[in-house]
Structure 1
Amino acid sequence: MMNYYPIKNTVALRGCYSPRLKMFMMCFLLISTSFGSAQVSGQTETVKGIVLDAGDKSPIIGAAILVKGTSIGTTTDIDGNFTIANVPSSAKVLQVSYIGMKEQEVDVAPVLNIILQPDLLQIDEVIVVAYGTSKKSSFTGAASLVKAEKLGERPVTNVTNALVGAVAGVQVSTANGQPGSEPSIYIRGIGSYGASNSPLIILNGMPYENTISSINPNDIESLTVLKDASSSALYGSRAANGVIMITTKTGTKEKVSVNVKFNQGVTAKQTNDYRKAGLNDYVSLYWENLRNRYVSDGKSAAEAGQLAAAGLFTDLPNPFNVPNNQVVDNNGQVNPNAKHLWADDVDWMNAIQQLGNRTDAAVSVSGASDKTDYYASAGFTNEEGYVIGSKFKRYTINGNVNSQVKNWLKIGFNTSANLSATDGNQNEAIGNNTNPFRFVRYIGPVHPIHLHNLETGEYLRDESGNLIYDFGTGYSINGVTIPIRNYVSGNNPAIELQNNYDGNKRNTINAKVYTEIKLPEGFKLSLNGSVGVNSYLASAADIVYPDKGISGSMTKTNTFTTTWTFNELLSYTKDIDKHHIDVLAGHESYDYEYNYLSSSMKDQKFDGNFEFGNYSNLNTTPDSYTNKYATEGFLSRFNYDYDSQYFLSGSFRRDGSSRFYTDSRWGNFWSVGGGWRIDKEEFMAGIDFIDILKLRASYGEVGNDNVGSYYPWRATYAVAQNAGEAGYIQNTLENRTLKWEVSHNSDAALEFSLLNGKYSGSVEYFNRLSGNLLFAVPLSPSTGVNSQDMNAGTMYNRGIEVELSAKLLQKKDFSWSASLNATYLKNRITALPVDPFISDVHKIEEGHSRYEYWLRQWKGVDPATGSSLYVPLEEVLGSSTSLVTVNGETYTTSATEALYDYSGTATPKVSGGLSTNFTYGHFNLGLIFYYQLGGKMYDIAYSYLMSPGVSTIASLYPSALHADMLNRWQKPGDITSVPRISTVESADLTATTSTRWLISSDMLELSSINLGYDFPKQWIHTLDISGLRLYGSADNVFQITKRQGTYPRRNIFSGYSDNGDVYLPSRVFTIGLNITF
């Protein structure tokens, strides 16, 4: 019930609508104002007034005022004033709303002075939870809500990228810069070793198995992240890693609303590459490298300098206009008269990049009558990446209809379809020379992109006058001989990316239908069914390049996935005086089928035709298989509250999964939770600065059956050949005792709001103990199988989450607000079924983090010799010839004698986000930052750039060098952290894994900027437009890291392999227009 009282035409609110209804009413006003005059007849009057904030009595700018029952309305100006002409004399009530304030209805009067109360913490907002909705005030679980307005106009193709820095406890690890790629999402750390760590995705109440990039962000109403067992246990066997609930938009207006949104922008590389030595420094460094090699072979320093100067370009193309033996002198100094002949043709990184275009357009139509609401939309996205040839194109349609057919019957459906295509997928394989990012990063500046006359530097051209790309395979053209490039000969990404044919097409359909039947005595029956279809075709071709000796090949892979979900839910609600009871019971079944088919052909006949008929021979044997998977669950939930002050909840689900054998197929998952509104206690009376103070706690167990294989309890076999005869070989051993991974979650939180909502937030402790962890346990070679999946081991993730919000400044025409979230996370393995083992640069052992580094202990450079210093193994002390004493400490210069030890973890200790918003008049500016602190990353790319990589004098490997090599040790007494440049001891000095390459993964990223201008209603009213907004946005704007070239958020937890030569994220700039009719 809404209560108000008049005091000389001043109205103060004593109740509130939900924030969602508030937003709906505001949108309704924007749509309806331009049509108001056409719907009013009879006698009219004019209503004037002012809208003020109850806190400091400051004017509220942009408050929406609507004549109830009509489409007549306006908004307040910068002084909080408003005027509504042509108000029908029959009108009795005005509806007043503003974001962050309680909704209000007031009686019509000629002059009004309206005071809006703050909507404290929006504690009564409705959030989407498992199998329903709940008021935030009564919810005992840990859930974070991200509304559509928070998503704003961010130029994100995948909506989960908008979670970066937005929700405490959620970390988004960027997949790569390929448009349309899927990020990895972690909720409260990593809960599994051998199984999936991905959260369950729920779309409109049903499990969703398609790619999230198939969903148009413009259609999303909200994202809800369920983080603890109390909020997610109803999803049982699939909720151990948390749940992300995506809710799409529905119709909410009393009349038709049309919204058109369009933005255009560009994409560019966000992260600058590593600093590299320029050509002259590069040549001097390699001269010194070669000289040191001759010295190690017994030559004098003077003789070694002469030999190095004379032989430096024996196996390298000489990029200068002077003879080979005149490029450098005997001291390694570059001839001042030497001119670079192809200086404009060595920027390999720039040669594979572009300024990509991005276009996003969406149109939606929505409306509602007394009994039916509807929403329909269509969207188009076309985004080019900053790497040549990479792009993503998507077409989407979405429809949502809900109808109250009878007082006791409600039906509805929503459906969405997506048609998308991705082109230019890039090879990011470590150590693979076809990886373009690896190639352009490490090729030395002496190698040009195109062929040149070695004498004059002129470009060489083919018979048609076109430039000729250098594949490094050696050429003889027009009497000029070009030697073979001994750096990755046979490749040239500058042209290969232009002709790259590696992409995929994806078609998805998701549909849901439901029926709600209201039964007597507070019971309700809900029947829901959904289907998801995903058709995927990937094609990858090797183009014919005579210079590479490739005859052309094509590989096609087709997959087809279908999912079916059905659930039946019976709910009961009852209010008895101050007691409120809410009970739910239900059943759910889920079926999944995945079909795979792949084949490859070779020996292309004609250019430009990539169908199998254009290839002569089979490249690989066709392969196909089908995976099937099903779950069935029985669920129940009980919620109770007394006087909206004391809250109790419990849930139970029993799930069966086809992944496990009959004896261990079923698992029980449950939770309990409680809440207490302390601020409503009598002893809190008189403490005026506390608006809300709520304590909640929960405990529960949820499962994870995503163990990789769909048939882990069965032995599996594959067809193979032996001496020309076909037969079966065993792939895996059966394990009938394999069962769920189980996550035991405990959670406690304090939520608060202070000073009429000026400050609000929460502090939360969580402890996530994961048991029955899946490990691939090594087996004896006599079994014929390398390993077997087994349940063994435990690991915990525990920490503290903090969320703070503040309305820092609220003036007449200016406001400033900010929000901060932070998560402290600690990860530990507490039980391990096998002996400790090494995984890349990590060691897996009880009592340590899953991603704790295990490395040689590097301690710097010996000032006397320039050798790397390591902490020695205890057993070599006193006997090794590699031991040295520096500043009273004993070290070894041999990497093989170095001590390994734990060296910190890749997992950041603290991560979170900071957002701030400024409003001035009709302008608004929003910024979102992401940060992480306390972790480390292993910079493998830097280690390569700090190593000359030369094995012999006759085989000079001319890879690029980092600019830090200029700080190398050169003579006794030099104090530096860079060892001498040498090929003899390259393993000891440079590329050997050690703590030398370990750096802080701390970073600060400006993830998003949005600047917008909302045109005043009085300007656009005559155009029959109810809302017009012009905005500019930027995503992945800049980052601050320990070293240029690194991007720690590429792989937050492991901090190793994926931080090498990869497609880093794009920086995106857009300008857009949002129009509502």
Structure 2
Amino acid sequence: YIRDGEGNVMYNEDGIKLYDYGNGDNAGMERSLFTNSNALSESRLNKQESEGNAFNGTAYFDVTFLKDFKFTFNAGVTLDEARSTIYYNPYFGQFVSEEGLLQKGHQRQLEYNTQQILNYTKQIGTHNINVMAGHEYYNSVVSVLSAGKSHMLTDDNDELAGAIIDKQSAASYRTEYNNEGYFARVMYDYENKYFFSASYRRDASSRFHTDHRWGNFWSLGGAWIISREGFMAGTEKWLDNLKLKASIGSQGNDNIGDFRYTDTYSINNANGEVSTVFKDKGSENITWETNSNFNAGVEFSFRQGLVSGGIEYFLRKTTDMLLAFPVPPSKGYSSYYANVGDMRNSGIEIELNFTPIRRENLVWDINLNMTHLRNKITMLPPERRNKQVEGYYGYVSGTSFYGEGLPMYTFYMKKYAGVSEDGKSMWYMDETDGKGNPTGKRVTTTEFAKASDYLCGDPIPDLYGGFGTSFSYRGFDLSVAFTYQIGGLAYDSGYAAAMYSPA
């Protein structure tokens, strides 16, 4: 608050406490950061709220015919609407000169999904067969409307009719996304011990150009329940289940937003005439990002569930990664989406469960899971390798360097070098000779702008997971869960911004 010479909070002519906005009103005191703002007044005098409604509905029917065939039709619809209000008070802050600001918004999202599935199920002795084929279609339509006005009559009328100056910010737009796919699957097991499955999908996404819209994805899997073999006889007293499993397959990703395959423009007012202004650069050749996965592991359970869990090795190869590729601002745009290369993730997952007490009315469970992950970019096409950093070839995007042989999102920024003898912060920089050529040596500087950028590690931890415990007694239950991470780096940009010298 703004206080008088005796430390008392001061009030304005309307009887409202005066807040310190760091703009000189408080005895001439100014802030170099967050000027004309006050978190307390914003939480008390401003508001951001929304109200809405949602509807979810599903329907289906089954038709069984020829004894072993069943046709299923599934349909689902989701409707989500929200009406938002943003109010900035007319007394304090950045909108005092406009005597308050009101913004209204409305968003409506309608989704529906349909499936037509044909199943064939047959049991022949100890052989079990299931064959499934189907078609799926998904559609999503988002409609958005917004407007704003300033110069409010009173602060208790938060409708646009309560303000008089149109901010010329009224806008609305509509986006639509479609996804269609055909799929098939075969499942087989013998004597409930040996399991096999295979699947195939062909999907199309409206987020890609019509020439690159379809993608093909598949999977193979198998499992062997060893504990059901004859040579395991006699282990039933202490071994509940022992299973070996493995699978390999691929799946697609199109999560990049709409219209990335074409140039987009904004329609603007040019002195009363319609004009178009370039907005985003499109890339016609982008297509599905493909994730190929291999998993192999073992599941086990002992002593009627006293101890259970599993160990699994995974290897995921991502090809045709979809990322925003940066370009020089001189081109008129900052980036465009492209299939920029390949990446590999590999590691081990372990899950353990222990039930020390299992009674009729009391159950106590303890659980632990852990994942060790290693990530590496394995390939970038030549046009993406436009920079060499410390022996790696790739490109820079923001504070990350994407290079072959490096983990994804490797930090690329100025490296802190400690404090100088006179108490100033230092950073490393590449030494240059009189002609400006690098000498290969690193020196320090107290001028941040002169510091060089270096590879500074990555955010991927060496080990992460969770652990917890739960109790259940006569219908009452209590659980506690924890997550942990060992290793990995994080960059606190907010703290870094707040710590810079205002001089």
TM-score, with length taken from structure 2: 0.86
Cα distance in 1 between the residues matched to 2:301 and 2:221 = 22
Alpha-carbon distance, 1:516 to partner: 1.4
- What is the CA–CA distance in structure 2 between the aligned matches of 1:532 and 1:940, rounded to whole Å? 38
Change (3 A) 1:472 1:941: closer
Deviations 1:655-676 (A, max 9, x none): 1222223322222111110001
The answer to whether the 8 A contact 2:101-2:150 is kept is yes
8 Å contact kept, 2:45–2:88: no
- Is 1:838 the counterpart of 2:427? The answer is no
1:938 match: secondary structure: coil
DSSP-derived class of the 1:936 partner: coil
| Counterpart residue type for residue 699 of structure 1 | I
**2:306–2:354 Cα contact (<8 Å) kept:** yes
Equivalence map 1:39-438=2 (5 Å)? none
Whether 1:576 aligns to 2:121 is no
Aligned residue among 524, 537, 540 for 2:83: 537
What is the CA distance between 1:621 and its match in structure 2? Answer: 3.5
CA contact (8 A) 2:87 2:158 kept: yes
The correspondence of residues 1058-1077 of structure 1 with structure 2, limited to 5 A, is none
Q: Are residues 715 and 856 of structure 1, via their aligned partners in 2, closer, same or farther at CA, if it must alter by over 3 Å?
A: closer
Return closer, same or farther for 1:615/1:922 CA change in 2, 3 Å cut-off. closer
The equivalent position to 1:483 in structure 2, one of 25, 28, 52, is 28
Secondary structure of the corresponding residue to residue 460 of structure 1: coil
Determine whether 1:850 maps to 2:399.
Answer: no
Provide closer, same or farther for how the CA distance between residues 897 and 714 of structure 1 changes in structure 2, counting only shifts above 3 A: closer
CA contact (8 A) 2:410 2:459 kept: yes
Q: Does 1:916 align with 2:469?
A: yes
Deviates more, 1:620-629 or 1:832-841: 832-841
Cα distance, 1:866–1:769 mapped onto 2, change above 3 Å: same
- Shift of residue 819 of structure 1? 0.9
Pick from 310, 313, 316 the counterpart of residue 768 of structure 1. Answer: 316
Match of 2:4 among 420, 441, 453: 453
CA distance in 2, matches of 1:798, 1:849: 12
* From 825, 839, 842, the counterpart of 2:373: 825
The residue identity in structure 2 corresponding to 1:452 is: R
815-824 vs 739-748, which moves further: 815-824
937-946 or 492-501: bigger deviation: 937-946
3-state SS of 1:679 partner: helix
> Post-superposition shift, 1:527?
1.1
Which residue identity does 1:510 align to in structure 2?
Answer: N
Q: 1:681 to 1:486 in 2, by over 3 A?
A: closer
| Structure 1 match to 2:66 | 520
**Residue 919 of structure 1: how far off its partner (Å):** 5.8
CA separation in 2, counterparts of 1:867 and 1:780? Answer: 34
- For residues 895 and 714 of structure 1, the distance between their equivalents in structure 2, rounded to whole angstroms, comes to 39
Matched letter for residue 543 of structure 1:
N
Residues 504/924 of structure 1: CA separation in 2 closer, same or farther (3 Å cut): closer
Report if the CA contact (8 A) 1:563-1:591 is conserved.
Answer: yes
The answer to whether structure 1 residue 600 and structure 2 residue 158 are counterparts is no
CA–CA separation in structure 1 for the residues paired with 2:104 and 2:257: 24
Which residue in 2 is equivalent to 1:707? 256
Contact 2:147 2:169 in 1 (8 A): yes
The residue number in structure 2 matching 1:509 is: 55
- More displaced, 576-585 or 684-693? 684-693
The answer (yes or no) to whether the contact 1:692–1:751 under 8 Å persists in 2 is yes
Identity score, percent: 33
SS in 2 for 1:453: coil
Counterpart CA distance in 2 for 1:673 and 1:499 is 59
Code of the residue aligned with 2:124 in structure 1: it is: I
Shift of 1:501: 2.3
Q: Distance in 1 between matches of 2:204 and 2:187?
A: 25
Give deviations 1:162-212, integer Å, cap 9, x for gaps: xxxxxxxxxxxxxxxxxxxxxxxxxxxxxxxxxxxxxxxxxxxxxxxxxxx
Change beyond 3 A, Cα 1:917–1:532: closer
Residue 463 of structure 2 aligns with an amino acid whose one-letter code is V
Structure 1 unaligned spans of 5+? 1-448, 476-480, 881-888, 952-1077
Distance (whole Å) between structure 2 residues aligned to residue 637 and residue 663 of structure 1: 27
Instruction: Work out the CA distance in 2 between the residues paired with 1:721 and 1:921.
Output: 69
> CA–CA distance in 2 between the matches of 1:840 and 1:780?
12
Q: Does 1:739 align with 2:287?
A: yes
Return the offset for 1:931.
Answer: 0.8
Letter in structure 1 aligned against 2:3: H
Offset of residue 571 of structure 1: 0.9
8 Å contact 1:818–1:917 — kept in the other structure?
Answer: yes
- Which residue is 1:903 aligned to? 456
Question: Which structure carries more strand by proportion?
Answer: 2
Amino acid at match of 1:858: Y
Name the structure 2 match of 1:664. 212
Paired letter, 2:91: Y
Counterpart contact for 1:873–1:897, Cα < 8 Å? no
AA partner of residue 458 (structure 1): N
Distance of aligned partners of 1:464 and 1:786 in 2 relative to their CA distance in 1, 3 Å threshold: closer
CA deviation vs aligned residue, 1:865-897 (integer Å, no higher than 9, x gap) = 4344544525369x99xxxxxxxx975555456
- TM-aligned CA deviation for residue 526 of structure 1: 0.9
Q: Kindly report which structure 2 residues correspond to 1:1049-1064, keeping only aligned pairs within 5 A, or say none.
A: none
Question: Quick one: distance in 1 between partners of 2:100 and 2:189?
Answer: 69
1:980 maps to none
User: What is the match of residue 792 of structure 1?
Assistant: 340
Q: Which amino acid aligns with 2:59?
A: V
Displacement, 1:499?
A: 2.2
The one-letter amino acid of 1:909's match is D
For the pair 1:494 / 2:40, whether they are aligned, the reply is: yes
Q: Output the aligned Cα RMSD.
A: 3.1
Residue 553 (structure 1) aligned to one of 101, 111, 115? 101
Which of 296, 302, 305 is the matching residue for 1:757? 305
Structure 1 residues 537 and 592: alpha-carbon distance in aligned structure 2, compared to 1, 3 A threshold: same
| 1:817 CA drift (Å) | 2.9
1:469 aligns with 2:19: yes
Specify which of 850, 866, 869 is matched with residue 423 of structure 2: 866
